[in-house]
């Protein structure tokens, strides 16, 4: 199921659970809301910097159309975009990571060339570790408690690198390259 359709269903079910009357148009509007989600302010610049040195690949839980809006806002050309719509499953499914590992060879990359960089411990870092992929946690919620919109990971996975933003990652790369 495409992410935008899934969001519509989740919106409707939550409204029902909370006893709130909603119209189908509201549910559909929420499903289409990804197009309005802002990017983190540091992301475009950091990604544009990192693109000079690395291939950038997206492994996303959203559908292709929804990601196209984020892609435009990020202002960088990704070398590959793998979405849940393409793969047929959502992270943290191992299928998503197996798909990525299978397809990065088309870019001349191997597993050892990947640094899986993400915020969600549950959706990204736990499965990345299961696949023995190096990882970098962008801990944007460092000043807040909890895991925000994602589930807790249970036992925290081993993390290779940790930064509070993509800008911090780019700055660390810049400093290490001098």
Per-residue pLDDT tens digits for 81-137: 999 999 999 999 999 999 999 999 999 999 999 999 999 999 999 999 999 999 999
E strand residue ranges, the chain = 57-60, 80-83, 115-118, 134-138, 161-163
Report pTM: 0.91
Would you say residue 143 has pLDDT above 90?
no
Q: What percent of the chain shows pLDDT beyond 90? A: 88
Q: Which CATH class is domain 39-176?
A: alpha beta
Which of 59 and 144 is assigned the larger pLDDT? 59
The answer, yes or no, to whether residue 153 has pLDDT greater than 90, is no
According to the model, what pLDDT value does residue 155 have? 86
Between CA 14 and CA 121 the distance in angstroms is: 24
The answer on pLDDT for 146 being more than 90 is no
The pLDDT assigned to 151 comes to 78
7: pLDDT strictly greater than 80: yes
Work out the average pLDDT over 28-51: 95
- Residue 144: band (very low, low, confident or very high) from pLDDT cuts 50, 70, 90: confident
Closest listed residue to residue 100, CA positions, set 85, 80, 117, 118 = 80
User: Residue range 27-34: average pLDDT?
Assistant: 94
Segments making up each domain of the chain, as ranges: 1-36, 39-176
Q: Based on C-alpha coordinates, what's the Rg of the chain?
A: 17
Q: For residues 116 and 69, give the distance between their C-alpha atoms in angstroms, rounded to a whole number.
A: 22
Band the pLDDT of 39: cuts 50, 70, 90. Answer: very high
């Amino acid at each position: 199921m495409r992410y935008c359709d899934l969001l519509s269903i989740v919106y409707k079910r939550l409204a029902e659970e909370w006893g709130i009357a909603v119209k189908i148009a509201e549910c559909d509007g929420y499903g289409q809301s990804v197009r309005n989600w802002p990017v983190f302010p540091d992301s475009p610049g950091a990604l544009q910097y990192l693109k000079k040195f690395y291939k950038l690949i997206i492994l996303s839980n959203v559908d292709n159309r929804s990601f196209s809006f984020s892609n435009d806002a990020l202002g960088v050309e990704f070398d590959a975009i793998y979405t849940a719509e393409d793969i047929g499953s959502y992270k943290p499914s191992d299928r998503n990571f197996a798909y990525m590992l299978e397809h990065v060879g088309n870019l001349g990359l191997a597993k050892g060339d990947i640094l899986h960089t993400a915020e969600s411990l549950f959706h990204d870092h736990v499965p990345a570790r299961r696949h023995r992929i190096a990882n970098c946690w962008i801990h944007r919620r460092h000043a807040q408690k909890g895991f925000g919109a994602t589930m807790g990971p249970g036992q925290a996975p081993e993390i290779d690198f940790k930064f509070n933003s993509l800008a911090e990652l780019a700055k660390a790369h810049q400093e290490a390259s001098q």
